Amino acid sequence: MNARSQLRKEIRQRRNALSVTEQSNAAIALTKRLSSHSQLLLAKRIAIYLSNDGELSTDNFISWCWQNNKEVYLPVVHPFSKGNLLFLHYQQDTELVSNRYGILEPKLDVTLVCPLEQLDIICTPLVAFDNSGARLGMGGGFYDRSLAHWQQNKTYPLGLAHDCQLVDTVPVEGWDIPLPEIITPSKNYRFI
């Protein structure tokens, strides 16, 4: 098993070992951090994900977005363009379906797609990160492809993670897109 796969396995086990109380407290702390973040306060369109596999819960923050008239968008695995994501408008009554990875996503409706360049913020999941902003995802490269031109699009990527997902070094590949900022329940890490 290579270093990236081993690290993925180790950190996924670490975050899945968090108790229900630890997960709940982390979600509350994350929402406090996000709801006071200057760029999120100014943002109109925020892409975020529904938590899966021990990821830091985004449910509280999504509710905050709705209460504060922010448009929320969720990733959908692109049906025709392999390895890419679409971002669909998500509301309280949006029908969700399981994708091929068992992750809930909005039922595809092309009228609800928001082009990447029209999103203000993309909150990305991750498995591990380090103090340089390197992010290790699940290995499909979906977010790396989506974030490849974030600086030209002016769509700000923001990684979300549990504190226990910080590691000394993430082994990076040429296609990995480093993040300018990662937020955990206890700290904002800024890299630019």
Annotated binding site for ATP: 4-8, 135-143
SS3 sequence of 65-121? HHHCCCEEEEEEECCCCCCCEEEEEECCCCCEEECCCCCEEECCCHHHECCHHHCCE
Query: Which residues are documented as binding site for substrate?
Result: 50, 55
**In this structure, are residues 164 and 185 in contact, taking their beta carbons and an 8 Å threshold?**
no
**Residue 190 to residue 192: CA distance in whole angstroms:** 6
Query: Which residues are documented as binding site?
Result: 4-8, 50, 55, 135-143
Question: Which uninterrupted H or E stretch holds 38?
Answer: helix 38-42
